[in-house]
Structure 1
Amino acid sequence: MRLTNKLYAQHIGWHFKKHWQVQGRRVPKETGAAAELLKMGLQVKSTDEVLNPKSGPQLIDIVGATIKPIPEDESHPNWHKAAGHIFGDNNVLLGGLPQSQVLTNTIEINSFPRQIEDAIANGQFPKTIDRCVQNAIFSSQLLDAQQVKLPKVKLVDRPAYNLPRLYGISHERRNRLLVNKLMFEIEKLAGRSVAVRRKLIDNVTFHTFLTKDNDTLIFNVTGDKLISSTRALDAIKGKFNGDLPDLYPMKSTVSMPKQHIYMENNFYPIRKEIACSHPHTIFTFFNKSVVGNVHGSEVSKTQFYGRSLLKAFVVAVARAKQLGDVPTNGVLQKPIVVQCIQTNGQEFHFGVLQLNTLNLSADSITKNYWFHRPSVELFTECCYQTGRPHIDGYNSEVFRTLNAFYHNS
C-alpha cells in the first residue's frame, strides 16, 4: 500500500518525526558551565574532537643501534674480488641448449632411456583415462574460481596501444592445478605400492656453485614441485659417445650476469638422513612474462630446452655435494640420475640427466648425459564454445610419458 500523508498520520512514527523536527530548531542556551570548568582548569572539548580525534605522525625513540642497509661494495661480508656468473629462475642462456651442454659438460641423446621408452610403448590404461585428463585440463584452465588481473598483452604491430586488461586464472595457479590433477590420476593407476615410495614437495630451492675454466658459477634455482623417492634412480646402462657443440667465438658463460656479492654454499632441501630424500623428478614452470633473455627478446625453443637441462643439473649437483662423495677429479663413484619436466601449462618438455662428473673443464674425458625428446603439446586450445568447455588437439602422449617418468625407478 502506498505511503500517503493520511496513512502516515495514523501512525505514531509521524509524531516522532515532527517532534525531532521541532526540537532540531531549538537553539541551546548558554548555561555558564563551560566558563566554570575553565576557571577550574578543566579543558572543554566538543563532540567532534572526542569522536574524531586528529591523528598525526608520532615520533618513536629507538633504544640501541639501528639496522642500516649493508652497502654493496667491498665492505660487504659476501664480497668477492672475482665476479661470479649467476644463473637463476628468471634468465636463460643466450646460446640455448648447445651453450647449456658446454657449460655443464653434457652430451645430448635425442631419446629417452630404454626403460622409459618401453614403458611408454607398452603402457596400458583404462578407457576412461583420457576423459579424466581432459577434465583435469578443464578444471585448471577454465573452471577454477580465481579471478586476478592477468599480464598485459601487447600487439607486435602496435606496441604503444594498450589493450583492455583481462581477468582470469593466474599462470602459476593453472600450472599447479594441472600438474596436481595429473599426478592424482597417475597415483591412482600406480597404486599404494608405488605411491608410498614417492613424496611430493612444492616450492623447493637449490643452491650450489662450481668452477669452470677459472670462472665461478653460482646457481640459485627453484623447483615448483619435487618428487623424491626412497630409492635413487639407477644409472642408465650403456656407454654413450658424443661431442660437445662448438661455441666459438662465444664463451659458455655469455649472458650470465656477473656479481661480486654471492655465497659459495650448497643447499639441498631434504636432509640426507631422511629415508625419502633421493631426487626423482623436478617440475619447473615456464612463464614467458617472467623468464626472458638479458636483452629482452622472447625465449626460443632451444633456450627452453637448455633451461630444463640446467634445472636438472643443479638438482643433481646439489645432491652430489650433500652426499659428500666427490673425488678430487670430480668423477662420481655412483652417478646421480634426475628427471626434469618443464611446462607452461600447455607444452611439456621431458628430460633425464645422468650426472657422472663435476669436472666441467673442456679436456674432461668423462661427460654427463642428457636424454630428451622435443617438447609435446598436451592440447592446442582450451576455451568455451557455445557456453561449454571445449578442447582442441588433445594429445595423450603427454600423460603416457608422465606416467612412465613416475614409475621409473
Structure 2
Amino acid sequence: MREREEYCPKLLQSLLHLCQTQHCTYPALAQRTLVADWKVATSWHKDSTIYHVRGSSGSLLSAKTPLDPLASSSDIQATEQHVLESLYPLSPAIDLQEVNVYQEKNHLGFKDGFPYPHPHTVYLTEPCSTKAKFLPDQLRAKMIMVAFGGAVAKAKILFGEDVRTLPRPVVVQSVGTDGQLFHFMVLQLNTLDFTSNDGIKNLVWMDGDQALYETVAAKAQIKRKVVVVPAGVAGFKPQTFVKFWAMYLNGAV
C-alpha cells in the first residue's frame, strides 16, 4: 500500500514536469508557477448555513493572467431558466464537517505582490490509503469544492467581499487522479448571490473516469504459461494525457 501512496503523487509530478518542458515552445507557460501544498480560506452564506473551505488543497498552477470564460454572456443569461433540483428533505451540508469558526477569512495563500495571483488549475490526488480511500464520485466532489473555494476567494479579492453577480466570471480548472483514472473539470463562477435558486447560475464541466493506462502490476500475472497481465504499466491511453496537456496549456496559446 505504501508503494501506491507514493506512486500517485509521483505520477502527477512527472506529468506536470513533462508539460513544463514545453516552455520553450509555448513562452506564455513561463508566466505561471506551481504552488505545492496550496492553502485557501474562504466562506459563503446559503440560507442559514455558512460554508467554509480551508486548509491544504493539493497543488495549484497559478498564473499572471486569468483564464478566459468558457460560457458567453448569452450562455450565462440562459442559465436563469435552469431549475435546480431540490435535495429536500436532505440538507446540502449533510456530509460536511460541522465546526466552530470564530473569524471568517478570505485568502488564496499568496502574499501581497505575488506575481502569479490567478488560480489556473488545482491538482488533487486520491489519498490512496486503506483508511481514506476516495471513490471517484468523492474525488470529483472534492475537485468541485476546492475549485469553487478558490474561485470565490479570487472573486472577493477582485470585486469586494459583498459582490453578488460578478462583473466578470472567474474560471478555475481542476484535475484529480487516483494514479490510473483521471478526472478533468472546469468551473466558471458567475455569481455569489445565493439568496434564492433563481437568477443566473454557476457552471461546471466535468469529464471523469479517463484511464491513463489499462493495468499496473508489480509482477506479471501468468495463467497456464500465458502472461495475462504484464509487469509494470500496460495499455497506455494517450488520449487521456492529451486532455491533461490541454488543461495545462489552456490560456497559453
TM-score w.r.t. structure 2 length?
0.83
Cα RMSD after superposing both structures: 2.5
Q: Which residue identity does 1:406 align to in structure 2?
A: Y
Partners of 1:221 and 1:314 within 8 A in 2 = no
- Helix, strand or coil for the counterpart of 1:363? coil
Identify if the C-alpha distance between structure 1 residues 290 and 226 changes in structure 2 by more than 3 Å, giving closer, same or farther.
Answer: farther
Deviation at 1:306, TM superposition (A): 1.8
Deviation at 1:327, TM superposition (A): 7.3
Report the counterpart of residue 311 of structure 1 in structure 2.
Answer: 146
- Helix, strand or coil for the counterpart of 1:374? strand
Deviation at 1:321, TM superposition (A): 2.0
1:340 and 2:174 are equivalent in the alignment? yes
1:403 and 2:238 are equivalent in the alignment? no
**How do 1:37-48 residues align onto structure 2 when only pairs under 5 Å count?**
none
Q: Which string of whole-angstrom CA distances, capped at 9 and with x for unpartnered residues, describes residues 68-121 of structure 1? A: xxxxxxxxxxxxxxxxxxxxxxxxxxxxxxxxxxxxxxxxxxxxxxxxxxxxxx
1:392 and 2:227 are equivalent in the alignment? no
User: Of 193, 196, 219, which residue of structure 1 is paired with 2:53?
Assistant: 219
Q: Which residue identity does 1:402 align to in structure 2?
A: F
Q: Which string of whole-angstrom CA distances, capped at 9 and with x for unpartnered residues, describes residues 154-201 of structure 1? A: xxxxxxxxxxxxxx4351x32222122112222223525133111111
CA distance in 1, matches of 2:193, 2:131: 28
CA distance in 2, matches of 1:378, 1:316: 28
Partners of 2:62 and 2:116 within 8 A in 1 = yes
- Helix, strand or coil for the counterpart of 2:43? strand
Return the index of the structure with the highest Cα Rg: 1
- Helix, strand or coil for the counterpart of 1:306? helix
Partners of 2:29 and 2:249 within 8 A in 1 = no
Report the counterpart of residue 373 of structure 1 in structure 2.
Answer: 207
Report the counterpart of residue 113 of structure 2 in structure 1.
Answer: 273
- Helix, strand or coil for the counterpart of 1:315? helix
**How do 1:272-291 residues align onto structure 2 when only pairs under 5 Å count?**
273-287=113-127, 289=129
Report the counterpart of residue 34 of structure 1 in structure 2.
Answer: none
Deviation at 1:389, TM superposition (A): 4.4
CA distance in 1, matches of 2:129, 2:169: 36
Identify if the C-alpha distance between structure 1 residues 329 and 363 changes in structure 2 by more than 3 Å, giving closer, same or farther.
Answer: farther
Gaps of 5+ in 2: 222-229
Matched residue count = 236
1:199 and 2:33 are equivalent in the alignment? yes
CA distance in 2, matches of 1:322, 1:369: 20
**How do 1:150-169 residues align onto structure 2 when only pairs under 5 Å count?**
150=1, 168-169=2-3
CA distance in 1, matches of 2:240, 2:208: 12
CA distance in 2, matches of 1:383, 1:290: 18
Identity within the alignment, %: 25
1:176 and 2:9 are equivalent in the alignment? yes
Over 6 Å off, 4+ runs: none
- Helix, strand or coil for the counterpart of 2:208? coil
Q: Which residue identity does 2:117 align to in structure 1?
A: S
Gaps of 5+ in 1: 1-149, 151-167, 293-297
